[in-house]
Chains A and B, each alone.
Chain A
Amino acid sequence: MADRRRVNTGSLATHLVLSLGALVMVFPFLWQALTALKSLAEVSKVPPTFLPDDWNWSSFDEVFTALPFREMLTNSALATAGRTAGQLVFCSLAAYAFARMRFRGRDLLFGLFLSVLMVPSSLLVLPQYDIIQQFGLLNSTPALFLPGMFSAFGTFLLRQAFLALPKELEEAARIDGAGSFRVFWSVMLPLIRPALAALAVITAMTAWNDLLWPLIVNTDPKTMPISAGLTSLEGQYETNYPVMMAGSLIASLPMLLVYVFLQRHFVQSVAFSGSKG
Chain B
Amino acid sequence: MSLFPATAAAKAADRRATKPAPRPAPRGQRAAYGFIAPLGIGFAVFYFWPMIQTFYFSFTEFGPFGGHTWTGTDNYARVLRDVTVWQALGNTLIYCGIGLVALPLAIVVAALLNRRGLRGVAVYRALYFVPFVTLPVAVGLVWNWLYNGDFGLLNEILGWFGVDRHYWVSDPSTAVLAIGAVMVWSTTGYYLIIFMAGIKAIPRDYYEAAELDGAGPLRRFFTITLPLLSPTLFFASVICMIQSLQTFDLIYIMMGEKNPAVGDTQSVVGLFYKWAFIENAQGAAAALAFLLMLLIAGLTYLQFRLQRKWVHYG
Residue of B with least CB distance to A157: B4
From the candidates A44, A109, A123, name the one contacting B150 in the complex (CB within 8 A).
A44
Q: Which residues of chain B from 51 to 73 have a CB within 8 Å of any chain A CB?
A: 51, 53-54, 57
Q: Cβ of A101: which chain B residues have Cβ within 8 Å of it?
A: 28, 31-32, 35
The reply to whether B115 and A93 form a contact with Cβ atoms under 8 Å apart is no
Task: Judge if B289 is at the interface, Cβ distance under 8 Å.
Answer: yes
Say which size band chain B's interface belongs to. Answer: 35 or more
A216 within 8 Å of B by Cβ? yes
Contacting pair B196 A271 (CB below 8 A):
yes
- The digit string for B163-191, where 1 denotes a CB below 8 A from any CB of A, is 00000000000000000000001001110
Contact among B38, B196, B245 for A94, CB-based, below 8 A: B38
Contacting pair A11 B137 (CB below 8 A): no
A11-B117 in contact given A211-B248, A252-B134 (Cβ < 8 Å)? yes
Q: Which residue of B lies closest to A114 (CB)?
A: B3
In whole angstroms, what is the CA distance A106 to B289 when docked? 30
Binary interface encoding of chain B residues 260-297 relative to chain A, with 1 for a CB under 8 A from any of its CBs, else 0 = 00000000010011001100001001100110110011
Complex CA gap A274/B256 in Å reads: 30
Question: Is A203 among interface residues, defined by CB-CB distance under 8 A?
Answer: no
Minimum distance in angstroms from A246 CB to a CB of chain B? 11
Q: B115 contacts A130, CB within 8 Å?
A: no
Are B36's CB and A109's CB within 8 A? Answer: yes
When the two chains form their complex, are residues B253 and A231 in contact, meaning their CB atoms are under 8 A apart? yes
Q: Would you call A119 an interface residue if the criterion is a C-beta within 8 Å of the partner chain's C-beta atoms?
A: yes
Q: Cβ of B76 < 8 Å from any Cβ of A?
A: no
Q: Which A residues have a C-beta under 8 Å from some C-beta of B?
A: 10-11, 14-15, 17-18, 21-22, 24-26, 28-29, 31-32, 35, 43-48, 89-91, 93-94, 96-104, 106-107, 109, 112-113, 116-131, 146-147, 149-150, 152, 155-156, 160, 163-165, 167, 179-181, 184, 205, 208-209, 211-212, 215-216, 226-228, 230-231, 234-235, 238, 241, 244-245, 248-249, 251-252, 255-256, 259-260, 263, 266-267, 270-275
Residue numbers of B with Cβ under 8 A of A are 3-4, 6-7, 9-10, 13-14, 16-18, 21, 24, 28-29, 31-33, 35-36, 38-40, 42-43, 45-51, 53-54, 57, 109, 112-113, 115, 117-118, 120, 124-131, 133-139, 141-143, 145-146, 148, 150-151, 153, 156, 185, 188-190, 193-194, 196-197, 217, 235-236, 239, 242, 245-246, 248-249, 252-253, 256-257, 269, 272-273, 276-277, 282, 285-286, 289-290, 292-293, 296-297
